[in-house]
């Protein structure tokens, strides 16, 4: 099978490159905007520049490379940035998907699209795949519109929704809850962490595994890919402190009303992952195992 990956410089993209390059049956084409951040790490992986917001470029690259599967991870994921820059958000999260859907359908490419728990209102959770979407911020609205574009495709497709992805990546500017808590406590800083939002946090390696399993099985339809542990960020922070044997008294429990953010957050999401376990053989790490992996990677 020949897999073309978008967003190969991002967190999930990097984990997919690391995973797919090891699969003997996979011929991988990594794509991203800008230069290849992984050139020094994986020189054997074919890289092609691709701006998914450019319709002509999308059609040219896909027609030339002729992948059997396309895993679409490229997106604008900073929730507040999406709220403040809605035009850019829509271009990257919706228009780009429409271009990919069009080209994949024309060429018979199996499209695997990564989506989010933020398409839901947050009134209840954990959620199964048939829960009704009702986004409360622009990021969620854009990702829901993208899902609808994928579902309208005349070609084969799968949507993989995920929740609060954490992990480490090469030359990657953004942090994550595990490293932020660890590094703050090591520095003796007091941190405020919300205890009224609920998520099923997802290790980036697990999400990559879910994407690969969906491609391998030629899965179609919607799948929820996350852990199955429903936790608040405060509970996550306490577990991080426990693992690294750091001072938990520096962690202050607060509620979301303490923070002023441009975009509203759904209070309670998290996923039921029974379908992914049953149909794909998906098995996520526990949160403690995820912390241990990050500890190894950043030692």
Residue pLDDT, tens place only, 73-104: 999 999 999 999 999 999 999 999 999 999 99
Q: Specify the pLDDT at position 174.
A: 81
Question: Terminus-to-terminus CA distance in the chain, angstroms?
Answer: 35
pLDDT of residue 299: 85
Q: Which domains does the chain have, with CATH numbers?
A: 2-168+201-226 (3.40.50.720)
| Alpha carbon distance 153, 194 (integer Å) | 39
How high is the pLDDT of residue 172? 84
Q: Which residues lie closer than 8 Å to 274 by C-beta, 6 or more apart?
A: 128
pTM: 0.98
Residues of the chain with pLDDT under 70: none
> What pLDDT, on a 0 to 100 scale, did the predictor assign at position 45?
98
- Reference 12, options 290, 209, 200, 196; nearest CA is 209
DSSP state of 256: G
Instruction: Return d(Cα 17, Cα 9) in angstroms, integer.
Output: 9
Closest to 217 measured CA to CA, from 69, 4, 31: 69
- Neighbouring-strand partners of residue 166: 203
The closest alpha carbon to 160, from 212, 88, 203, belongs to: 212
Average pLDDT over the chain, rounded to an integer: 97
What CA–CA distance (Å, rounded) separates 202 from 215? 19
The whole-number pLDDT of residue 173 equals 77
Residues 6+ apart with CB under 8 A from 89: 76, 81, 82, 138, 139, 142
């Amino acid at each position: 099978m020949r897999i073309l990956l978008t967003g190969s410089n991002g967190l999930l993209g990097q984990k997919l490159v690391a995973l797919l390059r090891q699969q003997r049956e996979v011929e991988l084409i990594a794509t991203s905007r800008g230069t290849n951040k992984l050139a020094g790490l994986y020189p054997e992986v074919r890289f092609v520049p691709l701006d998914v917001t450019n319709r002509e470029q999308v059609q040219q690259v896909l027609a030339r490379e002729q992948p059997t599967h396309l895993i679409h991870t490229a997106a604008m994921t900073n929730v507040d940035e999406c709220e403040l820059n809605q035009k850019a958000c829509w271009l990257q999260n919706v228009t780009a998907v429409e271009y990919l859907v069009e080209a994949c359908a024309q060429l018979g490419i199996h499209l695997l699209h990564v989506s989010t728990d933020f398409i839901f209102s947050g009134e209840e959770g954990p959620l199964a795949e048939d829960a009704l979407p009702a986004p409360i911020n622009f990021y969620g609205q854009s990702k829901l519109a993208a899902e609808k574009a994928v579902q309208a495709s005349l070609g084969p497709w799968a949507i993989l929704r995920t929740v609060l992805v954490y992990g480490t990546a090469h030359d990657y500017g953004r942090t994550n809850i595990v490293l932020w808590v660890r590094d703050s406590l090591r520095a003796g800083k007091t941190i405020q962490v919300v205890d009224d939002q609920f998520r099923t946090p997802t290790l980036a390696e697990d999400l990559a595994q879910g994407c690969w399993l969906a491609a391998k099985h030629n899965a179609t339809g919607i799948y929820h890919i996350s852990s199955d542990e429903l936790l608040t960020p405060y509970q996550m922070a306490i577990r991080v402190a426990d693992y690294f044997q750091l001072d938990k008294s520096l962690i202050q429990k607060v509620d979301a009303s303490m923070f002023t953010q441009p975009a509203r957050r759904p209070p309670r999401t998290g996923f039921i992952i029974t379908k992914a376990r049953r149909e794909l053989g998906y098995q996520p790490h526990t949160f403690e195992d995820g912390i241990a992996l990050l500890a190894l990677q950043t030692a």
